[in-house]
Every structure is written in C-alpha cells, then in structure tokens.
Structure 1
C-alpha cells in the first residue's frame, strides 16, 4: 500500500522554484518523490528548494532520494524532521533550514 504523498512545484515571486511535499515519504512512494524532484529540477539553474514542512514522516528511502540530489537542493523542514535529517548527515551535505524551534519570546 502506498503512503499518502502530494508534491507540487511552484515558482516564488523571487524566481526560486520550490517543490512542496505533503504527507509521508517512505519506501512505498520514494520513486514518485524522486520523479517529482527530478521533474522540478529539470530546467532549474542553481538550487531547488525542497519544502518538507508538510512532511510528517521521512524514512531511509526518502533520505536516499534527498542525498542523491543534495548538491542541487536546499531543504526547508520543521523541528519534527530534525533528528532524522541531522543524524543521517544530510544537514552536513546541503543547506537545511527550519530545524530549530522558534525562540519563546514570552520568558
């Protein structure tokens, strides 16, 4: 059974191309994720922004897809994915933003 994943490529007003992923990325849909990434990368000069802020789960199959394209992507994620992105070493091979929880300004 394939896990739910939606990928949508958009162009920001600043001209950057962003691939937004929503759902879970695992072995059941990593090929579709790779195809969406490759399609979004086609024709992009510089880096593609991969927005994982809507991703609730990322396993080793999804990490493998990201690692294979690490030299052409920048990642935006949430603190939820911080452990897997950091421990895997992906944060050492490409730019990853959004892993820190926002500072609590009420203190």
Structure 2
C-alpha cells in the first residue's frame, strides 16, 4: 500500500508561504497536489515547496509543478534530487537540497 499524500500549508516567520508534502505524489493524487499548489501560490511572494517528505514523485507530480516554476522554490531530499535534476527543474526554478 502506498503512503497517503499529506499536504500542509504554513508561513515561516519571515512571511514566506510553505507547502510541505509527504508521502507519494503520483497520478492518483496529482490533481490534489496541483490544487494545493495553485491555492498556495500568491502574488505576495515566492512559495517554498518542501518535498523532503516525499518518497516518490512521478511525471504527473512533476507536471503539477511546471505551471508554477516562476513563483516557487523547491526543497528536496537525497531521494528526489536526481528526479528533479533529470526532469530539468533545476534549470528553470530554484531547487535547494541537491
């Protein structure tokens, strides 16, 4: 059984909005992830997308990130760093933790 996707929105003390995801992001829940991203992205500033708790990210999850690359910063752990790099996201948005 795959770990369920959990999404948590918060704001850091410096005012930066954060969307933290944990579990797996795949075709079964990519729409939920995309909706959370769309709701968290604002004109106030960048959105920090924390994927350090994500164990699996497929092409549907990557596709959910693409419309927001101009407004997001992604944080990944060792597990997802190669996926994010190979997908080319490091070339079009800020990625920390790689």
TM over 0.5: yes
Write out per-residue CA displacement over residues 41-93 of structure 1, whole angstroms, 9 at most, x where no aligned residue. 1x442210000010000000000011121111000111110111001101100
Match of 1:105? Answer: none
- Structure 1: stretches of 5+ with no match in the other structure: 100-107
TM-score (norm 2): 0.93
Match of 1:30? Answer: 30
Match of 2:73? Answer: 74
TM-score (norm 1): 0.86
- Structure 2: stretches of 5+ with no match in the other structure: none
Structure 1: which 4+ aligned runs deviate by more than 3 Å? none
CA contact (8 A) 1:25 1:55 kept: yes
CA RMSD, aligned part only? 1.6
Say how many residue pairs are matched.
98
Q: In the TM superposition, what are the counterparts of 1:1-107 in structure 2 within 5 Å?
A: 4-41=4-41, 43-99=42-98
